[in-house]
Amino acid sequence: MNNLNKTSGLKKTAQRIRPIIVGLTLAMLAGSGIAYASNNNRDGCGGNDGQKSKHGMHSQQGQHGKHDMLTLSSKAVEQLQLTDTQKVALTEAQNATQKMRDDMRSTMRSAKESRQAEMKSDTFDPRTMFTQQDAMASQMLAARQGVQKQWLAFWDGLTDTQKATVRDYMQSKK
């Protein structure tokens, strides 16, 4: 009978600890998301400084409604009077940005599913979670740097007059 009480006591303890672990995990993920957003935009979390989105937050949207690394409205793109080569570079940068976002969403979704599976199977180990977070952060950094190269290739292909137009547009957004 004593062993039965010990076993049920351990189960009760595990049932109390599991929500705490889940809560701490979610808090760490939220904190890392905020840190990632603030590192990408020093002016504020997420770069919300323009039009209202469906969630009531503000976002400045670029061509085709995407929040690109170098956000340009369709009107600004028209003012640039891009050559065909420049249009290709812009499209490649926008496509690379969208692919990066899609890949990040997929990675985050699979990481979430993995964590949920660990919680259900009692195999949770914070070391594993931290290792996975570090790997995801490295992967995201590499992806972002690749996309930045695309945007810089677009920028480098602009004339001085076009660069001045982009500078004026970016300054007018602030």
- Tens of pLDDT, residues 95-153: 999 999 999 999 889 888 888 888 787 777 888 888 888 988 999 999 999 999 999 99
Amino acid, res. 31: G
Are 93 and 63 a contacting pair, CB within 8 Å?
no
Element (H, E) at 128: helix 126-156
Amino acid, res. 102: D
- Tens of pLDDT, residues 67-90: 446 778 899 999 999 999 999 999
| DSSP 8-state symbol, 56 | S
| DSSP 8-state symbol, 78 | H
Residue 64 pLDDT: 39
| Cα distance between residue 63 and residue 154, in whole Å | 15
